[in-house]
Structure 1
């Protein structure tokens, strides 16, 4: 009998024992726990006993009994850790199912509501709810800053252990001042309720980042950088004798500035004071998916337990799931941590460097002495991996680690295999060989044999066209980036299913720049120089376009239909390599100003601009300035207030606008959606009759959702100009968009931004068709110039020419209702 046969028989026997035990309870019997435990196969006895105790405990509690761990320890004196595991898997001390369960707001009793004051803190929102209580977003009215306030749930308020845990979080994290650890500012006790005031971190925890990722997991380089920052945080904590005990994606924040923040030291334990430590030997706290073996068995822990959990978290970031998530129940996951080998990351994700696997295997070694002996040591290997200097292997691999292949989002949904990267690399060997049927033209290889899967031009093979986009996939503008990509993919997917363009599929590589110009330029270089894309399409934002369009133009790369109306992309005559679908910000702001003055009868001198402090805001302000100049208002008479990119510093802007001496009645907003929503809410509180209009980049669906979450009435009447028709109209092109969005991306709701991405992809594909099979940048540009009065069923006819690189100048009007929905209206 083989080893696998033996294991299969053992598992069948264990399953039969557990099923029979459950059947006895179902039949009204009271099965003898000891008898069933004796029948368990020896090598899985602990696992079976824990499952039996867990089942027994649940049944007895359902009958109104409340057995304690001591009851079971007296019956199984040698199995205390196993009994602790069984209790912990059913008790509130473990976040069930790795926090996959949605929190129940009704189970968290609080006596404070949004809008009320808690001392000097104004409660403004609910940020989250967990087993320990509720977390509010608040505003410190004295220091004038946004904060988060954690309230201990009333069901825990008399629980000495839970209260100690909350206060210990404040004491331990509050004593540390580190850029990768969430700061603690204050502790309050109000009428018997305890609150911790902490740094408010704009961004998402890593579990949310993973959920929002198109692939479900992160690029290995991003995951490695995150793990390095976590190592820095742990080094600081461990140096003060603190052990976190609950490292997991949900306790790691990625801020809008791409900073990693470790939070929730509520489970932290001081290894300097074992008598006062919150949890002791024999008690389990943590999350099973990321627990170290010693935590799972209720053993002694030390800083190396955090190393193990960080290794498990790194695994999750690279794969999209924890290491032992397929093991079954929580107890089975815990036993897997103790007994099963760590799965290989590379087996399921061959694009990940083998070095990642080696690091995880060492960090997650069963015995603490076999792990990295400090967070600093782990960080050193992560840094070496990131710089492509392989760390010392735990065991020498049989083959050298493959160079990682780029993060690809294929328009058909499939990952591009690493072999394609090898073909790209090998193609360079033929650049100077004219006797192999290949010749060179401007450094690009042109194949005479269309059946060969080698590049015929950068980013073009016989069966594939590789496109790229650098966009905001995380941070304050992530909804814009994600929806733009989804709209493009929906159309490209349909093209691919129909056989592609001249037999070539369209694939899209997506890189996240978080709306940061420096990162976007780095991404552009990577897309064209390393990943060899043919062109970029649908980049998001003016500040990023300010550098990425220059790079494209200087290098002769096609820069097509970015999500921005910036004037810098609309030179006269136009840049040969830059094409826009949409109307400009000048078109949009002119439409808003005209509506304010001629329809609403607001004097032009009573119009102000709320704009981002960068090229995006400057461009929008210039558009308003040009528009009001037509009504006799000079630029120095136009009031401008603003905020900094990727921040929410709007206090000064709000106070200036609400100052009665300025007599402002209407505001043009050139901002992002989260900031716009907050600005509107606070200005309306002081001036409810203020009129607001925003350019399309604010993101209509995104701002609507912001208002729905925080009070839809605040958004009533807010105008957002659009550069696409209403997405729920029955125009022929819009019907096609909704049908293909539903077919290929049904989890996404229709919206203006994804419709813009869809239109951009459709126009680009029309150009590809006109260019023919001999595709180069220059042949495509010449083909785009031949697009004249193209009717794709959206209203305006679309045209390009050598002197016109903006296909449409049409602006539509939409307005928010009190229900938080958009209605269309005529801006004329």
Structure 2
């Protein structure tokens, strides 16, 4: 069917606009349009029977009742091993590719498509376009092929089920879980829309979960042409498709664009939160479609009043009847979804407050303020009395002591006022890090490692009887937010110091703030030059080696051990200060080989995106001058780059700096196909987290005790060691008898000599040395995406 609408003159069908709500008591024809059953629609084959009758050909693809008969058959190089499901677009099987020992999903196209050449050609063109999409939140298409008269698509196998499965077996998601799922889907839609593809069938059943928990959008482009033809009522009133999630323009068969997917995503969000399908009470299929076009926009709070207002606002904007009133891009919607995710500011707190709960909090605050007012008046009276009686006594006795000894009295630390962030029983620290967005795992793992150390210290009595507390604020790896967080941490939360901040771009704005205000900035997760001045900034201390140290180790390994020509080393780097620092490190290391910076090929991508198309194209065009590629990137763009290099069979060795997020990179390769990981090098700034070094064993014991469900890793180990170094400085201050102030703790840190944490390098600080370690360790991934130690020297 064309995009002209339902008013096809040949069939004399009416448009949805002409179908008012039906009164069952007055309409004799209502029974001819049976109530919709979502399970039946999802399992209906598109024209599997009617297509064969019209063409006169016998279908060769599997029919619904014969789908299981294909199990055990060989389809090209694929052995079909099981039936995964069947729906409007065909039957999906699990299969095994013995060539590379990989399990895949295979979708066999329905007979109607295979028998209509024009339709098949258009369909395959769309499938090929979708196959070019490469993104961590899009189910990958590996191959589009034909075996005899059977056409099939080979896809990434997703074994974690769909969001629809969760709804059926468990029920609605929590607001935070639902928001994260829709945010992941938004990221997948962004890359598709940028490529000119409109999905047209977003629904819970097309949001699939990998075995590692990643949400990916399925069937990109696969439904586009088919829905255009089949989105109509048949003689018995059945609709092929899923009308619960169709946009108004789809229901009216008007031209659709990216904003149609936004509507469907909003409808899906509604279902994930409530467990109900949009407009499911409207009645027949036509009435559901009419409701999409004319009924009031849905409010999930009508189903569950505890759903947060922000979630409801996102749904209402995404599901606006007019496309111009919706989010205009998936990126706009993603921004609001991230705002919901960042409601929680303390690590581990996943509570998202609705409006009623916020009022309750405000009420409790008012009650508390009233009580505090009474207490305050009593305190003022008492303090005034004491001042009037004790102060004169203090000055009188102090004067007598001075006259006797000739020396002024020295107050003990116990008598001195406490510094900011120091209370009678706490030392309050802060961190601004990425807890949402592309690098959220780096932030959460860094925090987890630090907390494992702090919890261990607290369990042993704390620091001089004081427990360590960490306040975590999410900056999403964005500099502006990081700067706001620093101001809030020091001016609002009154923390003593910050520790473990993540990222170079964020450090570019937070370090100057710390230096200007004389706040201690300890062990950030970055190897940036700006934090390693000579002589060092007094208020900045680093644990890890610099990016210059890491890239120097890479260049040495490639040139001296792998015999790569120095002029054939290229750089893939993020387009910001992080990438600039890494590139500068490569350039400095290549100076000894007389390679000028302007002669080094550099390609890149923008921060918090995965748009690497131009970078890949440039590398492919210059493949004769690239034998090794150093990646100064985060894990998703890095994994995609490796995938593209290997898919194009380019003979290029690759290595990534530690900020890539080693465990996340390995997980990404496992989802793409573990064979992509083979021989990818990652430099590390801490030892291997599964080694038997004393410090690593201590770390793993703490992780097992306090975070038993979390796996050890390089980033959390770095967080643990950073916290241990800081704790050593606090202990030295307390043992010296000095008060816990910023200046005293810095002095104590600078006195740390020959500190052996059991990790290899001995840690030494000093007034001219604020760098704990310059050591770089090498690791390399095998074909199972598992890390092995690599000797790089």
Q: TM-score range by the shorter chain?
A: 0.5 to 0.7
The answer for the alignment partner of 1:514 in structure 2 is 476
Residue 611 (structure 2) aligned to one of 648, 656, 661: 648
Q: CA deviation at 1:757?
A: 1.3
Residue 668 (structure 2) aligned to one of 702, 706, 713: 706
Asked if structure 2 preserves the Cα contact closer than 8 Å seen for 1:411 and 1:493, the reply is no
- The separation in 2 between residues aligned to 1:478 and 1:135, in whole angstroms, is 36
Q: CA deviation at 1:375?
A: 11
The answer for the alignment partner of 1:738 in structure 2 is 700
Asked if structure 1 preserves the Cα contact closer than 8 Å seen for 2:454 and 2:723, the reply is yes
Q: CA deviation at 1:410?
A: 5.2
Asked if structure 1 preserves the Cα contact closer than 8 Å seen for 2:90 and 2:109, the reply is no
Matched, 1:594 2:531: no
- The separation in 2 between residues aligned to 1:423 and 1:89, in whole angstroms, is 52
Matched, 1:767 2:729: yes
The answer for the alignment partner of 1:543 in structure 2 is 505
Structure 2 CA distance for partners of 1:266 and 1:556, relative to 1, 3 Å: farther
Q: SS in structure 1 opposite 2:280?
A: helix
Structure 2 CA distance for partners of 1:827 and 1:129, relative to 1, 3 Å: farther
- The separation in 2 between residues aligned to 1:816 and 1:611, in whole angstroms, is 20
The answer for the alignment partner of 1:32 in structure 2 is none
Asked if structure 2 preserves the Cα contact closer than 8 Å seen for 1:405 and 1:421, the reply is no
The answer for the alignment partner of 1:720 in structure 2 is 682
Residue 345 (structure 1) aligned to one of 303, 306, 319: 306
Asked if structure 2 preserves the Cα contact closer than 8 Å seen for 1:406 and 1:531, the reply is no
Aligned ranges 1:540-619 → 2 under 5 Å: 540-619=502-581
Q: SS in structure 1 opposite 2:506?
A: helix
Matched, 1:806 2:771: yes
- The separation in 2 between residues aligned to 1:157 and 1:526, in whole angstroms, is 62
Q: CA deviation at 1:808?
A: 0.9
Structure 2 CA distance for partners of 1:412 and 1:498, relative to 1, 3 Å: farther
CA RMSD of aligned residues (A): 6.3
Asked if structure 1 preserves the Cα contact closer than 8 Å seen for 2:432 and 2:486, the reply is yes
Q: CA deviation at 1:729?
A: 0.6
Residue 666 (structure 1) aligned to one of 625, 628, 649: 628
Q: SS in structure 1 opposite 2:700?
A: helix
- The separation in 2 between residues aligned to 1:309 and 1:755, in whole angstroms, is 48
The answer for the alignment partner of 2:346 in structure 1 is 409
Asked if structure 2 preserves the Cα contact closer than 8 Å seen for 1:582 and 1:806, the reply is yes
Q: Deviations over 1:541-598 (max 9, x none)?
A: 2122222222222233322211111111101111122211001111112222222333
Q: CA deviation at 1:697?
A: 1.4
Q: CA deviation at 1:698?
A: 1.9
Q: SS in structure 2 opposite 1:790?
A: coil
Asked if structure 1 preserves the Cα contact closer than 8 Å seen for 2:685 and 2:775, the reply is yes
The answer for the alignment partner of 1:491 in structure 2 is 453
Structure 2 CA distance for partners of 1:631 and 1:800, relative to 1, 3 Å: same
Structure 2 CA distance for partners of 1:583 and 1:298, relative to 1, 3 Å: same
- The separation in 1 between residues aligned to 2:650 and 2:469, in whole angstroms, is 48
- The separation in 1 between residues aligned to 2:380 and 2:788, in whole angstroms, is 62
- The separation in 2 between residues aligned to 1:245 and 1:677, in whole angstroms, is 26
Residue 748 (structure 1) aligned to one of 707, 710, 734: 710
- The separation in 1 between residues aligned to 2:71 and 2:474, in whole angstroms, is 38
Matched, 1:696 2:633: no
Q: SS in structure 2 opposite 1:500?
A: coil
The answer for the alignment partner of 1:790 in structure 2 is 755
Q: Deviations over 1:411-469 (max 9, x none)?
A: 89999996998999999999xx9997699xxxxxxxx9x99xxx955444444444333
Asked if structure 1 preserves the Cα contact closer than 8 Å seen for 2:108 and 2:150, the reply is no
Q: SS in structure 1 opposite 2:765?
A: coil
Identify the structure with bigger relative contact order (alpha carbons < 8 Å, sequence gap 6+): 2
- The separation in 1 between residues aligned to 2:460 and 2:290, in whole angstroms, is 56
Q: CA deviation at 1:761?
A: 1.9
The answer for the alignment partner of 2:254 in structure 1 is none
- The separation in 1 between residues aligned to 2:484 and 2:453, in whole angstroms, is 27
- The separation in 2 between residues aligned to 1:342 and 1:462, in whole angstroms, is 47
- The separation in 2 between residues aligned to 1:462 and 1:245, in whole angstroms, is 55
The answer for the alignment partner of 1:295 in structure 2 is 280
Asked if structure 1 preserves the Cα contact closer than 8 Å seen for 2:244 and 2:279, the reply is no
Q: Deviations over 1:515-554 (max 9, x none)?
A: 3333333333343344444332222221222222222222
Residue 621 (structure 1) aligned to one of 570, 583, 598: 583
Structure 2 CA distance for partners of 1:459 and 1:305, relative to 1, 3 Å: farther
- The separation in 2 between residues aligned to 1:463 and 1:526, in whole angstroms, is 22
The answer for the alignment partner of 1:393 in structure 2 is none
Q: SS in structure 2 opposite 1:630?
A: helix
Q: CA deviation at 1:279?
A: 6.6
Taking structure 1 as the reference length, what is the TM-score of the superposition?
0.56
Q: CA deviation at 1:357?
A: 10
- The separation in 2 between residues aligned to 1:135 and 1:614, in whole angstroms, is 46
Q: SS in structure 1 opposite 2:637?
A: helix
Aligned ranges 1:672-687 → 2 under 5 Å: 672-684=634-646
Q: SS in structure 2 opposite 1:571?
A: coil
Asked if structure 2 preserves the Cα contact closer than 8 Å seen for 1:408 and 1:508, the reply is no
Structure 2 CA distance for partners of 1:88 and 1:605, relative to 1, 3 Å: closer
Could you say which structure has the larger radius of gyration?
A: 2
- The separation in 2 between residues aligned to 1:405 and 1:472, in whole angstroms, is 10
Structure 2 CA distance for partners of 1:605 and 1:421, relative to 1, 3 Å: farther
Matched, 1:501 2:463: yes
- The separation in 1 between residues aligned to 2:749 and 2:733, in whole angstroms, is 8
The answer for the alignment partner of 2:429 in structure 1 is 467
- The separation in 2 between residues aligned to 1:553 and 1:358, in whole angstroms, is 42
Q: CA deviation at 1:376?
A: 10
- The separation in 1 between residues aligned to 2:548 and 2:773, in whole angstroms, is 13
Q: Deviations over 1:651-672 (max 9, x none)?
A: 445544663653x433322222
- The separation in 2 between residues aligned to 1:555 and 1:668, in whole angstroms, is 37
- The separation in 2 between residues aligned to 1:637 and 1:308, in whole angstroms, is 61
Asked if structure 2 preserves the Cα contact closer than 8 Å seen for 1:574 and 1:803, the reply is yes
- The separation in 1 between residues aligned to 2:275 and 2:537, in whole angstroms, is 53
Q: CA deviation at 1:359?
A: 7.5
Structure 2 CA distance for partners of 1:644 and 1:189, relative to 1, 3 Å: same
Asked if structure 2 preserves the Cα contact closer than 8 Å seen for 1:787 and 1:801, the reply is yes
- The separation in 1 between residues aligned to 2:502 and 2:709, in whole angstroms, is 22
Q: SS in structure 2 opposite 1:409?
A: coil
Asked if structure 2 preserves the Cα contact closer than 8 Å seen for 1:412 and 1:507, the reply is no
Structure 2 CA distance for partners of 1:711 and 1:298, relative to 1, 3 Å: same
Asked if structure 1 preserves the Cα contact closer than 8 Å seen for 2:639 and 2:669, the reply is yes
Q: SS in structure 1 opposite 2:631?
A: strand
Structure 2 CA distance for partners of 1:709 and 1:280, relative to 1, 3 Å: closer
Structure 2 CA distance for partners of 1:816 and 1:406, relative to 1, 3 Å: closer
Matched, 1:822 2:784: no
Q: CA deviation at 1:821?
A: 1.7
Q: SS in structure 2 opposite 1:779?
A: helix
Asked if structure 2 preserves the Cα contact closer than 8 Å seen for 1:625 and 1:635, the reply is yes
Asked if structure 2 preserves the Cα contact closer than 8 Å seen for 1:642 and 1:653, the reply is no
Structure 2 CA distance for partners of 1:134 and 1:765, relative to 1, 3 Å: farther
Asked if structure 1 preserves the Cα contact closer than 8 Å seen for 2:752 and 2:766, the reply is yes
Asked if structure 2 preserves the Cα contact closer than 8 Å seen for 1:613 and 1:643, the reply is yes
